[in-house]
Structure formats: structure tokens, C-alpha cells
């Protein structure tokens, strides 16, 4: 990873659209997956029902789906104990544990910086309000969906010698020097 970065290992690169690691990035970035990793890392193996209560608001579907994917990816093991009430425990594998550190940091960052983010949002909304009207009604247009307003006479290309104008009227947050 020192210089130009491409000879040490058969490297994966998440910046590449086709690289499998990008999908993996998506998977491990999932809300439920990250919470599950942290929960399982925090207190040993956990039963399905314990996870249900530990991770508030998760539905059976999402819980099972996430656990299944994690099991398939080798992040957790699933152990069935055929006791009287059937019991199933989930536990992090070594691979899963290697993710734990990162996930903890992710969750902690979110919790630690929540207030700063909130402040930033408030400031942003204060300076930018008006751009996003409350949109009270769906669409103030006539009852019939304006089907003809769509096309509109295509005006012939009027002198595009401007190429791209400097007179920018778009959204502005900060302006630099030309």
C-alpha cells in the first residue's frame, strides 16, 4: 500500500464497479449486520430470542435474513440445541471477530458525533430553507396530469458559443476564487 499499490497481493479494489469487495462493503455496512456484530461481540453467543430483544425494532424477517447471510459469509456460526424448547445460538467466528473492532468504532462514531451532526443539519437547514418547499399538496397542477407540458417545443440550439456559462444560478454553499 506504499507507492502505486498494485503488486503485493491479488488486490481487490472497492472503487472498481465490478469488484466483489464492493458488494461485501455494502453487506457489512448494513444497519442490522453491524448491530448484530456488535451485539454478539459484546456478550458471547446469543440466542435468537435474545437478539430479538437486544436489537430493538428488528423484525423476524430481517433478523433471520441478516443472520443467514452472515452465516453464509462465515461471520457467525449457528448452533442448534434440540432441548425441550428448541434453542439456537449464534456466535462470532474468528472472521466475524476481526470485523468487531471496526464495527465497534463505526457504532461509537455514530453515537459520539450524533450531536455534531445534528448541529450541522440545523445550520444547513437554516441557510438553505426555501429550496425545499414543504410540498403541501402532491402537485398543484391541474387534475389531469399535464401530459403535454412534458415535451414542449424543443428550441433549436441557440448559439451555444457560450459553451458553459459562468453565470451560475444554481445552489451555492461556498464560493472560491476564480
Partner DNA sequence: CCGTATCCACATCGATACTG
Partner DNA sequence: CAGTATCGATGTGGATACGG
- 72 touching DNA, by CB under 7 A: no
Task: Give the whole-angstrom CA distance, residue 124 versus residue 150.
Answer: 33
47 binds, among DNA, a second copy, none (CB under 5 to 8 A by kind): DNA
Closer residue to a second copy in complex, CB, 74/146:
74
Cα–Cα distance list, 117 to 100, 105, 110, 120 (Å): 24, 17, 9, 5
* CA atoms 106, 112, 114, 116: torsion sign: negative
Task: Report the nearest approach of a second copy to the CB of residue 159 (Å).
Answer: 17
**Site pattern 131..160 for DNA (x: CB under 7 A):** --------------x----xxx-xx-----
- 47 touching DNA, by CB under 7 A: yes
Concatenating the DSSP letter of every residue in 44-75 gives SSEEHHHHHHHSTT--HHHHHHHHHHHHHTTS
Size of the site for DNA (CB under 7 A): 32
Whether 92 contacts 44, CB under 8 Å? no
Task: Report the nearest approach of DNA to the CB of residue 131 (Å).
Answer: 8
Task: Report the nearest approach of DNA to the CB of residue 35 (Å).
Answer: 12
Q: Strands 87-92 and 76-81, how do they pair?
A: antiparallel
- 48 touching DNA, by CB under 7 A: yes
Give the binding site for DNA (CB under 7 A).
30-31, 47-49, 57-62, 64, 67-68, 78, 85-88, 145, 150-152, 154-155, 164-165, 167-171
Amino acid at each position: 500500500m506504499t507507492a502505486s499499490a498494485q503488486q503485493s497481493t491479488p488486490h481487490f479494489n472497492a472503487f472498481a464497479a465490478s469488484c466483489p469487495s464492493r458488494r461485501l462493503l455494502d453487506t457489512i455496512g448494513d444497519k442490522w449486520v453491524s448491530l448484530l456484530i456488535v451485539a454478539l461481540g459484546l456478550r458471547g453467543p446469543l440466542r435468537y430470542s435474545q437478539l430479538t430483544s437486544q436489537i430493538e425494532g428488528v423484525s423476524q424477517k430481517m433478523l433471520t435474513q441478516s443472520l443467514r447471510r452472515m452465516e453464509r459469509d462465515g461471520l457467525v456460526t449457528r448452533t442448534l440445541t434440540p432441548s425441550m424448547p428448541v434453542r439456537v445460538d449464534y456466535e462470532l467466528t474468528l472472521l466475524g471477530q476481526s470485523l468487531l473492532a471496526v464495527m465497534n468504532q463505526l457504532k461509537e462514531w455514530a453515537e459520539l458525533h450524533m450531536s455534531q451532526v445534528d448541529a450541522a443539519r440545523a445550520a444547513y437547514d437554516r441557510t438553505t430553507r426555501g429550496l425545499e418547499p414543504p410540498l403541501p399538496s402532491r402537485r398543484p397542477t391541474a387534475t389531469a396530469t399535464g401530459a403535454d407540458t412534458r415535451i414542449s417545443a424543443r428550441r433549436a440550439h441557440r448559439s451555444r458559443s457560450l459553451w458553459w456559462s459562468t453565470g451560475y444560478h444554481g445552489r451555492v454553499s461556498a464560493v472560491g476564487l476564480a
